[in-house]
Structure 1
């Protein structure tokens, strides 16, 4: 995919996860309970959480907006190993354009050292239109997705995107895998079945996962990812990641 002004860079599969703890007061003793939300390297494309309550007539409006998303498949491989679904971890490159004049406002190949971007599909890490438009994509597939402003950056716009702007994304998917925070993955990592993850367990899982995909790396590579995961997920700093700390799918939009 030609990226216009973007610089070339080697593609690297380096998956790190950022998490934000959100306090929610629920009365009683007044003690806040933490809910996990996700932040990703795609911060420039994040909008305020899509939080319109959908019921009754609003559901019809939502359906109408969804139907306004236009998807054009530019390339699709003959064999599809896995189609993307909500909760899956996706690795993509994408370019963003304004529909009105075709001017480019974003290119992932010139951001974040040119690496493909990781995000979890369907939980609000990207604009709503991309969560919808990137569903059922295969590794290697390319799409052109046209998103109305209500499912993009809305009435306020963001950065170079003006208010009420329809936007177009050209997206190329490099990988689709099970979401990093599924409880199935937690069970696989929890080798001693004590409902908590040690650094050794997480590092071993990372090694096996990369090797299964033919992506062997040296020890410092796994150590860096493991350290990052614990820094952002081990909230009580006890050297373990509990099932509660691990599970980010306590989310208002799920």
Structure 2
């Protein structure tokens, strides 16, 4: 009797992606970039926000690359609906630099990342993988622009600000310091190097920050930092 051979290689499912952009050529370009990468599969396309939401419901992709300005339901509205209705799907917003005023709105709507459309192919693919893994991605340039723009996006509801200030006040001095560094766009590794501590220690502190702020990920924590005026 022949021996049964069992492969020791673990089969990893590809990261599934839906492309949402009202320009067909843009979708084609993103598809070509992503499908040239190992472990990424484009499973659908949408030309507007409503179609993106429908694709998210039907296909349950890992990631949706979301344009902001689309006819009908725009990318911000679609992001808010998708993150509410399809919790397993992460949204990565891509837009042109002259639309960076939408970065804050997109992140508040629940996006897990925000990149510019001129991002290099390798960086785009890495961002898709990062977001699919549950982490967050924000372009350093977008982070800088948010620092410059935060004042115009402070909450209008005074009570909301008070509640969020109380959440900030609950942080320890170290957690407060780490939140500021996160809001400056630093990764865990960069924070660890800056503070001369281990990456494991930073990860633990970041987890505590997210829990105390009652937010889903580090992007939402950064939003809170901007909203409360912490980055003034």
Q: Name the structure with the higher helix share.
A: 2
Q: Same fold (TM over 0.5)?
A: no
TM range (shorter): under 0.3
Q: Which has the higher contact order (CA 8 A, sep 6+)?
A: 1
Q: Name the structure with the higher strand share.
A: 1
TM-score, structure 1 normalization:
0.22
